Structure 1
């Protein structure tokens, strides 16, 4: 297949680029939003750590700042920046890099980004990815793999199946659990539900994922937010309430050492994705004529923090 580029030097971007580089060599590039991070990565490489923070590997993908990337040509771009980064200037730059017929795989949390990217990138092949991999960016060149999960990538009539099969093979060689799916909507709603419970509560309480379920009081908060959110998303095909609640607890356990992306943003005093997760659920509830008091509350609290 052609080249693979990872766009975004956050926790997930560093993890994907680092592990792909370890198995695919120079075929993988990492594009960052700042030239400073690109310079540091070209000098020091990416340091991969295991869940305990011990040194695992150091790899050296080619790093470029987004402003210094030319036309990408044939290949796949793994878009790992957060929804808050999808500004008009960013999308205009991405459209200049990815040629007509190019492929972009979207790794954003929440909902709404598919429609935004479809409008900004006409005549490109877009695929949505849903992942539960846990990663923590320690610094600009170091990432800790805090929990293994699953990655599901959607396949439809508009995507290049041959390219996605090649990407699936590369990601599996890099040690990820990957599945291609023609029915991804359920996985998107499932991930939205899990994020809507874990992300805001870890950000508000300032705890890691594993600590969220450590006390009866926190579990009660989780359950109340979960039940309200499930009641809204069940209109979009989600079922098996007990199984989904167990899935939330399982993600907390599997990524126990992880700081959610929302907690990382709060600590760094950055804008969070709350509007694209719990805020989006509030808007869905309004269209259904339902109340979403818990989602409204956590949305207001997280926004008040930053």
Structure 2
């Protein structure tokens, strides 16, 4: 059985072109040595996206001439993964020296690299401080994952302010959750977004095998991470803070429509268009959700950026246009068309009877709307209740 993820759901279509227009491309000529201060990078969340970024960055740095005493990339894994790892070297006493054999399939070529792994909670005193963490977990697992390694994000140990780059779905909600769960944290939270298409195949014999099906781009406000991605073949684009926020709201609009509706009706993305339910075209519900998300997104951008000197009246107006109902409607339609054969991550979760990310997507929009602006979002809220009722019925 082939399963696909829509974590990297924004393909190389006009939609992605509009995203790129808000970004600045890092020059491929930027030397890797400029990024040595960025290292080492820790990655938590060993799903498709986490393994893709870890393997590509690890491979690029191993091919470079940088002399570093530390591994460029380290995967942070839970103890349950240990049986599927291999020992690094022959010293049986060095239980922490483990590697994950990651196989990357791209353009029908298979390449395997061994990425260093640290088992979370094992011999903690021997594990290094975390300078930069790439968060790639499911949204609902993010805070629990961070709790398990939070003591390693201590500025007094790292001698600098640690950073968390959120590459997970539901980044806006995750940042809020981090602020609530770790209120006194001296950690910089950075938004990121990926449009790379990557999936796992349950028929693969390799546990850590990923298929890079669609070459996309990486968007982030951190220039050094963008350069690392560019040098690693992950196509890095540097975003301004407001442009990054606009992009995440556009992606959230897609997820608020595609994920719950595909899960509720048990269909692929492409089957949503024209779908009838209780004698009514489901497109009307899709439009209502888009209208609600648009109203909240525009208020958020206006509230956060109108008074900032770096943003002009023209840039604020451009953001309003990007987040308007017609613009979001077009964006959602294009993404659903280009990912027509995809099985959404929420549908996969429902089929597997797993907790979904609906509260970090639709639920987040409803909370922001109600708590900050007194706006009701009945259609967006109904997606939360219907998805949760669906899971309850499945037991």
Structure number with larger C-alpha Rg: 2
Report matched runs for 1:27-42 at 5 Å. Answer: 27-32=72-77, 34-42=78-86
Listed as ranges, the gaps of 5+ residues in structure 1 are: 155-163
Q: 1:297 to 1:130 in 2, by over 3 A?
A: same
Match of 2:50 among 13, 16, 22: 13
Match of 1:223 among 284, 287, 301: 287
Runs of 4+ in 1 over 6 A off after TM superposition: none
Which stretch of the first structure deviates more once superposed, 203-212 or 189-198? 203-212
Q: CA deviation at 1:62?
A: 1.4
1:236 counterpart = 2:273: no
Q: What is the aligned length?
A: 293
Per-residue CA deviation, residues 246-272 of structure 1 (Å, 9 max, x unaligned), is: 222333344444433322322322111
Match of 1:103 among 156, 163, 168: 163
Contact 2:133 2:164 in 1 (8 A): yes
Contact 1:102 1:124 in 2 (8 A): yes
Rounded Cα–Cα distance in structure 1 between residues aligned with 2:368 and 2:201: 35
Equivalent residue, structure 1, for 2:267: 207
Equivalent residue, structure 2, for 1:174: 232
Contact 1:74 1:102 in 2 (8 A): yes
State the SS of the aligned residue for 1:175.
Answer: coil
Per-residue CA deviation, residues 116-173 of structure 1 (Å, 9 max, x unaligned), is: 334627222321213333332335412233434443223xxxxxxxxx4332122122
Q: CA deviation at 1:61?
A: 1.0
Q: 1:23 to 1:178 in 2, by over 3 A?
A: same
Q: CA deviation at 1:78?
A: 0.3
Match of 1:82 among 127, 138, 146: 138
Equivalent residue, structure 1, for 2:190: 127
- Computed over aligned residues only, the root mean square deviation of the Cα atoms, in angstroms, reads 2.9
- Structure with more contact order per residue of length (Cα contacts < 8 Å, sep ≥ 6): 2
State the SS of the aligned residue for 1:138.
Answer: coil
Rounded Cα–Cα distance in structure 2 between residues aligned with 1:116 and 1:291: 21
Equivalent residue, structure 1, for 2:210: 143
